[in-house]
Structure 1
Amino acid sequence: MARSSAPSPRSKRAPAWRRWSVFVLQLGAGFAVLAAIVLAITVYVSEGQLPSFDALKSSPNGQMIRVHAADGTVIVSMGPSYGEWLPYDRIPKVMRDAMISVEDRRFRSHIGVDPIGMVRSIQVRIERGHWRQGGSTITQQIARNIFLNSNKQWGRKVREGILALALERKFSKDEVLELYLNKVYFGGGAYGIDAASRKFFGHGADHLSLTEAAVIAGLVKAPSNYSPTADIAAARGRAGVVLKLMQETGVITPAQADEAEIDKVAFVPEAQQNSVRYFTDWALPQLEMLIDETQRPLEVWTTLDLNMQRAADAAIQQNAPRGAQGALVAIDRDGAVRAMVGGTDYVSSIYNRATQAIRQPGSAFKLFVYLAALEAGHKPEDSIVDEPITIDGWSPRNDSRRNSGAVSLRTAFAYSLNTVAAKLGQEVGFSTVADMARRFGITTKVNTHPSMVLGTSEVRLLDMTRAFASVGNKGVAVTPYGITKVTASGETIYAQSVDTSHVLVAPYVAAEMTDLLQTTVNTGTGKAAQIGRPVAGKTGTTTSSKDGWFLGFSSGLTTGVWMGRDDAKPIAGLHGGTAPAKAFAAFMRTAVASRPVEQFDTKVTLPEYQLEPDQESYFGEADNGLFVDENGNPVDSGRATPAEPQVDADGNPIVPRSADPRITRGSDTQPQTEQNRPDDTQRLDQGWLDHVLGRDAPRPAPNPNRVPRDRPAMTPPDRYDDRQDSRPTQ
């Protein structure tokens, strides 16, 4: 029997790569399902944690700050501004269509994220090597603006997408668009379409035209670049792009796009920035130290007096030399800053020269030298020899290029004698002078080289003004402040309190310093600062007229003025006693006009006229006392050395008769005639001084043997040889 056999079927196994592919696909599907489950749970949880629609409507985009002057006038609004919240049905259709066309044309169809937009964004990133366009939807932008930040990190993008999905689940498309249009930032501090419309066009957003809507919609991409306040041409160009996109999406016809006259859209002109901003730029950063409120809108009341500010601005504008900058600070006796001008034009330069610039003060720094000397026991009547002096190889010179022998401290200060300041600094110690400057509020570095007595250390105008204010406040420290009160939602969260407990020097020292300062204004280098009432002050001029200063006080108000160039180049004719002193006077006449006249604790005492070091000072020539380089070495001022002064038989300086139409003999004055003019000169005596100062009434002749109040009798000035011999035994 024949046996048949059939071949057994041979099972074939799939290739390994196919098995691995199937496994990977299955694993990927599993992960995808798991990720979808996690995403769904995350979105669900996020949806439950989202605020309500009403809560999102009321949440602020940022902190708005309104700044008030001393009289309550709003001088500037800082931070975001909000217009009226417009419900969806009050938002013009052209505005809704314009925003969707330019920011998210598939807004009505996606679920919060747009995969097509994301893919396109990644494609552009690969092609160009950097991000050129985002794939964020309107819903994602809301999530980012309200809940997140703008950091370009993958983690943030993932959270943004999850929140967008949650927002779309919780709110309708119309509600999402309403939120967006009322909260998105449009530049210029404007949040929401109504604020933007009012800022740029002067009317509410419910009356927006097609071209106006196109302008606003075009701002979202880059508010700082396309804002009409920054670049009107760029804003109009971007609006043209928006109109083309609206035509592409079919929300407007080609005819409507052609009829839109973008070039004729009218913008509200931006409010002009003025010198008030110098003050607010200085005062507002202090809020970080005064309060911890960062959410609620703030109302900030300041010390700024608008009338004084206008007067300060005018004084700088009218007196600053051509090509020079000027700065002014006015401080009340309690430290309240009433006016601040940091430059001639805030629009062209926001650099605040009153608070930021550090410049050499020249002879104005002698305030601290004489304060230290007075505190050490000197008196204004004390005599000191004006003579050549060399300290550690440094030899200061007077502006007149000569020395006057024995003079009182009052005379030396009034006419800004450099050699006397150097002597006093050496006597009390240069470190003592530096300590006095720091005690009175100088915050910049003060060197202790001998030349420091002439103002070679750089200072700020605000600090110097503060120092003079403290002298005028009888030696009690004055701390400048600009904010008096801050409120939030009607609640006072900060109120200024003035500390009067910090005494810097004894009252008698401040009174003696005031004595010297008012002599400078009445008869010395600061005569241009006279305003018809008691003024105490000091001039300051640096090498080659690079800086001019005047600082002084009257009727409880202290004002400091600086003038110079930002590049520190010389300015012909700039001295502390010229333009700065004139600006001081122009400002103070207005600033103190409504204040009662206040007399100082010390009366004006004239310096020894017979020892006057420079006859030009009688005619108001300005102080130009600092002629040293940055190392403190003497340099040529660039002016011719004055001729030796003429003196009469008694050794008193004489001046040509053409200088004044009167001849003076002692305290008697007579009209000048051919009969009573004995020669071609006249004497600089007390009667001449009385006439110059408007005090023509006869005055008793000075008594060389007068004993100063509270002081023992002193040797007559012409017998002094040096300061040690001149000091009485205590």
Structure 2
Amino acid sequence: MPASRSKKRGPAWRRYLLWAVGIGAVGAVIAAIALFVAVYTARNSLPSYDELKSSPNGQMVRVRAADGTIIVSLGPSYGQWLPYADIPEVMRDAMIAVEDRRFYSHWGVDPVALARIAKFAFDNYGTDRRLQGASTITQQVARTIFLSNKYDIGRKFREMILALAMERKFSKQQILELYLNKVYFGGGAYGIDAASRRFFAHPAETLDLSEAAVIAGLVKAPSRYSPTADAEAAVGRASVVLDLMVETGAISAGEAAAARPTDVELAPAPRQNSVRYFTDWALPQLEVLIDETQAPLDVWTTLDLSMQRSADSAVRNNTPSGTQGALVSLDRDGAVRAMVGGKDYVSSIYNRATQAERQPGSAWKLFVYLAALEAGYRPEDQVVDGPVTIQGWSPRNSSGRFSGTVSLRTAFAYSLNTVAAKLGQELGFGTVADMARRFGITTEINTRPAMVLGTSNVRLIELTRAFASVASRGVAVTPYGITRVTANDEVIYSHEVDTSRVLVAPYVAAQMTDLLQTAVASGSGRAAQIGRPVAGKTGTTTSNKDGWFVGFSSGLTTGVWMGRDDAKRVGSLQGGTAPARAFAAFMKPATAKRPIEEFDTKVTLPEWQLEPDAESYYGEPDNGLFVDEDGNPIVEPGMGVPDEPGEYFGNDPYAPPRSAPTPEPQQERLDGEWIDRVLGRDQPSDPEPVQGSRTPLPPPPDRRSQEARPNQ
């Protein structure tokens, strides 16, 4: 009896399968009912077609300079709304072919595309690859009008519900009309009429096949395929559109072959200037500063138009032919007063002031000497410029000679590489890297010995920020470009300057300023003199690939970089020539209306006071003659090599002796009275240590334990 009963019931797996199928069917019915309710609820809540037509295409943003002048207006363009019947057929066909070839057959969501995206999700499960495609034209309209571009599953589901609802309420022609009049084509142009006027200088009603293919190709990536930014990419994308039109039967192969996107005549590019480098850098910050996405905005910035014109002129007039230049200038609180990312914004929108990462050469020694001063060194301390080998690396000075015992001031003014290397070895290369990090360098920093000569890439704005923090007596300076944002005349954001973060003690910053003044007064930065106190440093890298000058005066800190984008050598480019001259050309008018400000320290010349040698004056490569990008010793073709370690490299009549005698120590200036005046503190009671020579940089006595130094 039990056996027959078991036989009638059948195998267990069959029962489980039937249960699964039943549960699945019930679930599918419930899901279908829920979807039906969601779609028709959304349909009933949709605005009318006329209301959708009048909804804004995008947010209007007016960008103002520091004086209130409007410098850029962004937002909906001036295109006219075109009814479906007035839109050229080639434009409609091109858009459907490239964006949604089954537009007329699906219900707002394309099941074929959904299957494709489901397979993609399965194949890439557990990876960070983002799901792409599958959005129909109807879905794109729903996203453009009702949703944001934030990508997540919830938004995608809402987009699908809205698309299904729109297909229930509006005709295909109405949806396509909405799409072609609202989709963004780049360059501030919303809709095909705005795009046609923007790129071809005529209304969209007269678009031909080639022009329609170019415009249709923009939707996928407006900035990448913009004909004004990259004509080759735009033509290539237009050819893809034409091929798709042939596949969908919209045009014949002969018509596609007759179309010539390469012959499309573009409208003259609107005159742009270097202001766009600044706005391209500043405006993306709005995403984290404010939440307003609908109301028109007025964005008040730090840009000084007069300084910007001077910066643009300084870069254009001083950058060597065939190279690029960049400049950024910060006020004492971090406000960006001028920014130039290249010689011509129209030909290249790449911002070399904020995006390019290049080797800084000896400008990096700022961090080496800051670490030394914080550890207890002083500008007058004696160090030995002589041969040194660190982990198989034997740096030499650019002049090819060693000068014996010199002061720290002289070592910095004449950019002695051996002294920087010994300081790095003594202090620890990690300590130098930590100092750079502390002062705002965010790029990767290597800790190989040659790092002291500037072999790690940096960005101009970050290196300028570091010098600005020295100028502010060791208080961190953070660059900013937006002072406030208003929406409907109501302030919704206001910048607050943070002066609470102290990077080094004030006396360390003052001593560093002392050294930087010497570099401009008598060292490699002499071309940066502007008739008022200036502190700064040059930088020249391997084979003259990069030239830098960064310095400050009268509360303004300015950095200049020059070089080729492909990092090839540039004949006579050195930090002390073109970059220093551009710095001076900018700073003279920029500081003209500012009061002359004396630094906390007076300029003190190094030991060799007749004339600096040619290397120091012209700022020869600080690491280039003897170090490659990885810090390994190299010899350039045609370059002589000294037979003896101390043999002079060249015929400079003004060079100091090859084996300079130990100079008489100069009068110590950083006495108790000076510390009192700078820090407003009582003079330390402990006596000052006796100044003496150093043999190859033994560990210095810990002055922080021997002296009652303030703020330590």
Asked if Structure 1 and Structure 2 have the same fold, meaning a TM-score greater than 0.5 normalized by the shorter chain, the answer is yes
The yes-or-no answer on 1:77 pairing with 2:73 is yes
Give the structure 2 partner of residue 537 of structure 1.
536
CA contact (8 A) 1:303 1:484 kept: yes
Instruction: Return 5+ residue gaps in structure 2 as ranges.
Output: 1-31, 97-102, 113-134, 240-249, 251-263, 658-662, 673-686, 708-712
The 1:103/1:142 distance shift into structure 2, 3 A limit, reads: farther
What one-letter code is carried by the residue in structure 2 that aligns with 1:432? T
For residues 139 and 664 of structure 2, the distance between their equivalents in structure 1, rounded to whole angstroms, comes to 90
Moved more, 319-328 or 493-502: 319-328
Deviation digits for residues 687-717 of structure 1, max 9, x if unmatched? xxxxxxxxxxxxxxx9857454427688787
* Bigger CA radius of gyration: 1
CA contact (8 A) 2:422 2:697 kept: no
The yes-or-no answer on 1:450 pairing with 2:449 is yes
Give runs of aligned pairs for residues 309-708 of structure 1, distance below 5 A.
309-609=308-608, 615-616=613-614, 620-626=617-623, 627-636=626-635, 639-640=639-640, 706-708=667-669
Moved more, 510-519 or 579-588: 579-588
CA contact (8 A) 1:705 1:713 kept: no
Give the structure 1 partner of residue 59 of structure 2.
63
The one of 159, 162, 167 equivalent to 1:164 is 167
Report the 3-state secondary structure (helix = DSSP H, G, I; strand = E; otherwise coil) of the residue aligned with 1:537: strand
The 1:338/1:38 distance shift into structure 2, 3 A limit, reads: closer
What's the CA shift for 1:502?
0.6
What's the CA shift for 1:471?
0.3
Report the 3-state secondary structure (helix = DSSP H, G, I; strand = E; otherwise coil) of the residue aligned with 2:71: strand
CA contact (8 A) 1:552 1:558 kept: yes
What's the CA shift for 1:161?
5.8
Give the structure 2 partner of residue 49 of structure 1.
45
CA contact (8 A) 2:417 2:622 kept: yes
The 1:486/1:396 distance shift into structure 2, 3 A limit, reads: same
Deviation digits for residues 601-629 of structure 1, max 9, x if unmatched? 111111112798x63357x2324221213
For residues 440 and 157 of structure 2, the distance between their equivalents in structure 1, rounded to whole angstroms, comes to 51
Give the structure 2 partner of residue 294 of structure 1.
293
CA contact (8 A) 2:139 2:159 kept: no
Give the structure 2 partner of residue 269 of structure 1.
268
For residues 138 and 483 of structure 2, the distance between their equivalents in structure 1, rounded to whole angstroms, comes to 43
The 1:386/1:714 distance shift into structure 2, 3 A limit, reads: farther
Report the 3-state secondary structure (helix = DSSP H, G, I; strand = E; otherwise coil) of the residue aligned with 1:503: coil
Report the 3-state secondary structure (helix = DSSP H, G, I; strand = E; otherwise coil) of the residue aligned with 2:571: coil
The 1:487/1:214 distance shift into structure 2, 3 A limit, reads: farther
For residues 322 and 437 of structure 1, the distance between their equivalents in structure 2, rounded to whole angstroms, comes to 32
For residues 177 and 392 of structure 1, the distance between their equivalents in structure 2, rounded to whole angstroms, comes to 69
CA contact (8 A) 1:705 1:716 kept: no
Moved more, 489-498 or 410-419: 489-498
CA contact (8 A) 2:88 2:206 kept: no
For CA contacts below 8 A with separation 6 or more, give which structure has more relative contact order: 2
CA contact (8 A) 1:475 1:510 kept: yes
What's the CA shift for 1:505?
0.8
What one-letter code is carried by the residue in structure 1 that aligns with 2:374? E
Deviation digits for residues 112-155 of structure 1, max 9, x if unmatched? x967999xx99xxxxxxxxxxxxx9999986675458999x999
The yes-or-no answer on 1:710 pairing with 2:671 is yes
CA contact (8 A) 1:140 1:163 kept: no
Q: Report percent identity of matched pairs.
A: 62
For residues 46 and 449 of structure 2, the distance between their equivalents in structure 1, rounded to whole angstroms, comes to 70
For residues 37 and 624 of structure 1, the distance between their equivalents in structure 2, rounded to whole angstroms, comes to 75
The 1:223/1:143 distance shift into structure 2, 3 A limit, reads: same
Report the 3-state secondary structure (helix = DSSP H, G, I; strand = E; otherwise coil) of the residue aligned with 1:479: coil
The 1:198/1:439 distance shift into structure 2, 3 A limit, reads: same
Report the 3-state secondary structure (helix = DSSP H, G, I; strand = E; otherwise coil) of the residue aligned with 2:548: strand
What's the CA shift for 1:503?
0.7
With structure 1 as the length reference, what TM-score do the two structures score? 0.68
Instruction: Return 5+ residue gaps in structure 1 as ranges.
Output: 1-35, 106-112, 123-135, 238-247, 249-264, 647-653, 660-681, 685-701
What one-letter code is carried by the residue in structure 1 that aligns with 2:86? M
Report the 3-state secondary structure (helix = DSSP H, G, I; strand = E; otherwise coil) of the residue aligned with 1:563: strand
The one of 95, 98, 107 equivalent to 2:86 is 95
The 1:325/1:154 distance shift into structure 2, 3 A limit, reads: same
Deviation digits for residues 227-256 of structure 1, max 9, x if unmatched? 88687999999xxxxxxxxxx9xxxxxxxx
The 1:597/1:645 distance shift into structure 2, 3 A limit, reads: farther
Report the 3-state secondary structure (helix = DSSP H, G, I; strand = E; otherwise coil) of the residue aligned with 2:618: coil
For residues 338 and 318 of structure 2, the distance between their equivalents in structure 1, rounded to whole angstroms, comes to 17
Aligned-pair Cα RMSD in Å? 5.2
The 1:211/1:715 distance shift into structure 2, 3 A limit, reads: closer
Give the structure 2 partner of residue 696 of structure 1.
none
